[in-house]
Structure 1
Amino acid sequence: MLIERTLAAVFGSNCYVLAAEPGGSALVVDPGAGAARGAMALLRSYNLTLGAILLTHGHADHVWDTQRLIDTAVTEGRVTTGLAGAPEDPTRVPVYIPQPDLYRLDDPDGTTGISVDGRTFADLTGTEWLRPADVRPFPQAGFGAAVELVSGVALQAVPAPGHSEGSTVFFFNARLGDNQLLFEAEVLDDPASIPEEDYLVALSGDVIFKGSVGRTDLPGGDQYQMWATLRLLASAVDPATVLLPGHGAATTMAHEHHANPYLAEAKVRGGETGA
């Protein structure tokens, strides 16, 4: 399986490209502002077509280049067609987002509520928001079993509110060898002999980072929900799971158990309510 990453220029959010194999259909995750160029470079490098886009949540720094990526892929003829699940109209690539955050795509700048020295997110990017033409809620079936958004890439979702109402962690199985993200997550440390192995991988969005967690002071955030989410993840997720966060380095659940003070706090306070 292919798992590659590029960075968005604004706020450095991670954008991931997933595909079953070179030459296949790709799922692009969280194309933030400025990520379209890097994502397209990865599509070209592996001769991939764009099959679908997944947004882990609706904040502006994770969604801004969605339609720009689609437009560029269409122009270059890199849109998946002729396969099960592919769009009938090759100019309309499906964009999946958890239902509670779907409303944010009408105005991600306003609903995210980020400003820097009085400048909005749109001001920082120097571009306008382009709402994708084919937005769909992530399939409800995907919260109980893995669903394929593109051929060979099956994900199962776990609601993880707190950073935003719809924040979700997406789990998938991947057979990987010497992927650089595994070194970064400190799963591999001997480059001399690296057999392919099966890994459980999670796209954790802005729920949990290496040594930190997503903020809860933006519109729709909730600290009590975040504690509950983190406590659930701490208790239910296999420590060996590789986490691919929305910002920063890849990590593992085991590392966060030992080195993330916010996760440690949530283990204690995850049962609290705001009442």
Structure 2
Amino acid sequence: MKWNRIPLGPLQTNAYVLVHEDQTCLVFDPGDEGEKLIEYITANGWTPLAVLLTHAHFDHIGAVDDIRKRWSIPVYVHKQEQHWLTDPMKNGSLLFMREAITVNEADVLLEGEQTLTIGAFSLQVFETPGHSPGSVSYYVEKAHAVVSGDVLFLGSIGRTDLPGGDYEQLLQSIHRHLLVLPEETVVLCGHGPETTIGAEMDTNPFLNRF
């Protein structure tokens, strides 16, 4: 099982494609440039099974409908942010981009921590609010990776000054759900390069002062 990072859009938001040995894949946070992402997946001969969102800010959802239309696959998002997909004020696009970015409603609403089985993939869903109320992280043990969205970054954490953000809640989410993972776990961040749980435990200044 392997993962691939594709930065997309003006904010270079990371979409990730997690690929199984059978060439099926999962698409995480397709934020923009749908045609570019479709061409990348098609060129590699992969077959997407689902789109999984870590949260519903505009820069993480912009190409959702492009991917869904191309492969007729379901979209997953946390229940607390189901209406953000269709509301440009809630997803922040009107505030930051001065244009409305919306996508159709999700097919599957996540609520509570659970294990998802999609094709040959098994993922643990952790509720990790703080950056946004419905932020989730997807831990894929067989890939030794966690898709954290905008919760945890290399040397930093997600911003909490947006509507629904909560600094203390974010730190609690990170400590309760992410830092308990094996230290070699790769953190697939929503922006910027990857890191590991161990590296952030040792060097992240936000976590070391909590």
The two structures have a TM-score, normalised by structure 2, of 0.90
CA deviation map 1:116-166 (0-9, x unaligned):
xxx74253xxxx5342355321375xx24x3223x2121101111100001
Q: Does 1:136 align with 2:112?
A: no
User: CA 1:252–1:161 in 2, change beyond 3 Å: closer, same or farther?
Assistant: same
SS of the residue corresponding to residue 166 of structure 1 reads coil
Which residue of 2 is the match for residue 29 of structure 1?
Answer: 28
User: CA 1:153–1:111 in 2, change beyond 3 Å: closer, same or farther?
Assistant: same
Alignment length (residue pairs): 210
Letter in 1 for 2:176: L
Which residue of 2 is the match for residue 195 of structure 1?
Answer: none
Q: CA deviation at 1:246?
A: 0.5
2: distance between equivalents of 1:99 and 1:234? 21
2: distance between equivalents of 1:30 and 1:157? 15
Q: Is the radius of gyration larger for structure 1 or structure 2? A: 1
* Farther-moved stretch of structure 1 (205-214 vs 1-10): 1-10
CA deviation map 1:171-230 (0-9, x unaligned):
0123xxxxxxxxxxxxxxxxxxxxxxxx52100110000011100000010112112112
RMSD across aligned C-alpha pairs, in angstroms?
A: 2.1
Which residue of 2 is the match for residue 95 of structure 1?
Answer: 75
Which residue of 1 is the match for residue 117 of structure 2?
Answer: 148
| Structure 1 residue ranges without an equivalent (≥5) | 74-78, 80-91, 175-198, 267-275
Which residue of 2 is the match for residue 50 of structure 1?
Answer: 48
1:56-67 alignment, distance < 5 Å? 56-67=54-65
| Structure 2 residue ranges without an equivalent (≥5) | none
Letter in 2 for 1:56: T
Letter in 2 for 1:148: T
Letter in 2 for 1:103: H
1:1-275 alignment, distance < 5 Å? 1-21=1-21, 24-34=23-33, 36-71=34-69, 73=70, 79=71, 92-107=72-87, 109-113=88-92, 120-121=96-97, 123=99, 129-132=101-104, 134-138=106-110, 143-144=113-114, 146-149=115-118, 151-174=119-142, 199-233=143-177, 235-266=179-210
**Contact kept in structure 2, 1:26 and 1:49, CA below 8 Å:** yes
1: distance between equivalents of 2:28 and 2:89? 22
**Contact kept in structure 2, 1:19 and 1:25, CA below 8 Å:** yes
Letter in 2 for 1:70: R
User: CA 1:50–1:213 in 2, change beyond 3 Å: closer, same or farther?
Assistant: same
Q: CA deviation at 1:52?
A: 0.9
**Contact kept in structure 1, 2:86 and 2:104, CA below 8 Å:** no
2: distance between equivalents of 1:37 and 1:168? 26
SS of the residue corresponding to residue 237 of structure 1 reads coil
1: distance between equivalents of 2:57 and 2:105? 18
1: distance between equivalents of 2:177 and 2:208? 12
CA deviation map 1:32-66 (0-9, x unaligned):
022x2332123212212232100001111101110
Runs (4+) of structure 1 exceeding 3 A deviation are 112-115
**Contact kept in structure 2, 1:15 and 1:32, CA below 8 Å:** yes
Identical counterparts, % of pairs: 30
The two structures have a TM-score, normalised by structure 1, of 0.70
2: distance between equivalents of 1:102 and 1:134? 7
SS of the residue corresponding to residue 110 of structure 1 reads coil
Letter in 1 for 2:27: V
